[in-house]
Amino acid sequence: MSTQKTAIEKINDLALDLVARDFSNGHIPTNAGPTKTSRALAIIHLAAHDAYAKVTNLLTPRLATLPTPPTGLGNDEAIGTAALLGAGIQAAIVLYPDDAQFITDEKKKLCVDANPAALSYGKQVADAWLAARLGDRSELPQFDDLYSDEPGHHRPDPLDPKQKALGRTWGQVKPFVLSSVVKDAPLGCPPAIDSDEYALAFDQVIEAGKNDITGRDPDARQQAAIGIYWGYDGANKLGTPPRLYNQVVRCIEGFDALCHYQQVRLLTAINVAMADAGIAAWHWKYEYDFWRPVLGIREAEAGFGPTGKGDGNYLHKTGDPFWLPLGAPRSNPAVPVFGGTGSNSTPNFPAYPSGHATFGAACFEVAAALLGKQTEEIRATFVSDEFNGKTTDSTGVTRPRWKQTFTLREAIEQNNISRIYLGVHWIFDATSGETVGQAVANKVIAGFGCYGSIDSSTASLIRCGRRSHLAIAAPGANRAARSKLGLVSHVHARHDREHQKQDAADRRHQPLGNPSGDESATDSRRSPHRWHDLKSLRSSRRKHCRKRPARSSRTECDRPTRSKNVITNACDKTASIVRFCSLASHSSTASAASFCSPMPQLPLAMQ
């Protein structure tokens, strides 16, 4: 097999280098955050895809208003490759103007012997794509300080009181494939802050995500390593998560053996999926405006926080006004951050849903579908830039090199739980992010017309928005791996719309908590796909919780939001998909241990 990189791999390399450079050495990012990064990556790849498609006729162009190739240009692979390079480079120059000289220097190396007319045509295609995205609302202001003091709402990281909120308007950006976020990627409310589900998530993250790696046992240190491995939180020389997920896909076994047009389609589709995943995730983030663990834990008790109300939850552990998370890793610190060189932090946008989980699920589900397989059937061997033997931690100490081999299913689950291990997310942020990411993936899979490489049963599920992961429910190796991750597994089959509407109607008239004390009724309603009974877990946890006063049943969706009317409408129109995972790390009883056992070792091959 040839080791020579294809044209789309070279464009992908260029784009990922630009993402890293955008966040390097104190540069103010041109495409700040994972949101603008994902949009830029999508446009670069779409321009390259469509230039190649128009010349070779091997793919279907995604933009209808493209210029026609000049007469006599030809349509062979060499001409298509040159057009692809011209388009990708032109899009990169416009989207990353601060790196224009770097791109120009790279162009000299990439375009040796390329047909000048084909390069010129590619440039026209890129200009058409850039024109098509003008006015897509990505130009709206991305930073503000519109915070609420009420419990449950997102506010600045206590380590950075002047922190601005990023991306409040990003949910208004015109999607690339989705027709409507609310319609195509619905998401119900997060748990109420005085609910049992919130208490379980609270007790998980207060232990699993706290900032004391050196003082914890080996299992907890391994979990922290997983958290950092999937970081890429805008750190110096690393950039944002969309860069990470591109790198993983490039490391899939057999990627190099794909035909060039298959690589073009695959890399374009995953970046389009992540662009729409960012739009969808940020829509819901600011719809619900849910706080991060660093606030929820520090302000849990009455008397603490701006209002002194606390969270009113008597089911979880006592809050800690001094608690800090392990935090999003500030790797390769270039300048002092938040009063200390490279101090870790909490991201500057609401928690629910997790952006990492949404991007990762959308990317890896699309990749698997375009390869005609389930995520459980595709393996990748990958060295994260967070653990490449060169990157330093926030104190300047070089981290070792760590190479993992995992399936894409395992990658999704590690990526999800990593945010809890860093203490920057609740577990329901992760599961809801995967739900939204899967919904985005379904639309992108259908939009890129990949059914020719998928068996008919899988294709039919995708067409109706119900891609099923039947292997997830099966016992065996996959289940064992999830147990080591501290995850409770669920069947991820998607309900069709009639079932979703019925589920939403049922939930609107039933409280998420359990004020009546009827355990069996609450358990059967909360999650029809649960493998574990919460009754024994709750019983084993009683001695760790404070006495809960009587409270009335809830009859409406009572969640933090900017407007009560907004959230009521959202709950009326959206199926609330609840898939809840929990670690009962504080419990010493046998029943709790049977629910979630500690992770005895790193879950995947560490080579």
Among 269-273, 289-293, 539-543, the minimum mean pLDDT is found in: 539-543
Residues 171, 270: contact at Cβ < 8 Å? no
Measuring CA to CA, how many Å separate 601 from each of 65, 223, 367, 384, 399? 54, 9, 28, 19, 19
Q: Which pLDDT tens digit goes with each residue over 364-389?
A: 999 999 999 999 999 999 999 999 99
Residues 99, 29: contact at Cβ < 8 Å? no
Give the Cα separation of 200 and 543 in Å (integer).
14
| Strands 340-341 and 165-166, bridge-based pairing | unpaired
* Position 538, amino acid: R
Q: Is 150 helix (H, G, I), strand (E, B) or coil?
A: coil
Q: How far apart are the first and last CA of the chain?
A: 24
Which token pair is 581? 């995972």
In sequence order, which ranges of 304-407 are alpha helices (DSSP H)? 355-370
Tell whether the model's pLDDT for residue 469 goes beyond 70. Answer: no
pLDDT of 213: 82
> Higher-confidence residue: 479 or 147?
147
* pLDDT band (50, 70, 90) for residue 592: very low
Helix (H) or strand (E) holding 380: strand 379-388
pLDDT of 335: 57
Tell whether the model's pLDDT for residue 528 goes beyond 50. Answer: no
* Position 426, amino acid: W
Tell whether the model's pLDDT for residue 38 goes beyond 80. Answer: yes
Q: Which pLDDT tens digit goes with each residue over 404-462?
A: 999 999 999 999 999 999 999 999 999 999 999 999 999 999 999 643 333 333 333 33
Mean of the pLDDT values across residues 97-103? 97
Question: Of 326-335, 373-382, 561-570, where does the model show the most confidence?
Answer: 373-382
Query: What would you report as the CA-atom Rg of the chain, rounded to the nearest whole angstrom?
Result: 24
CA angle 492/493/494 to nearest 5° reads 110
Q: Which pLDDT tens digit goes with each residue over 290-310?
A: 999 999 999 999 999 999 999
DSSP-derived letter for residue 345 is B
In sequence order, which ranges of 185-306 are alpha helices (DSSP H)? 196-208, 218-229, 241-250, 260-288, 293-298
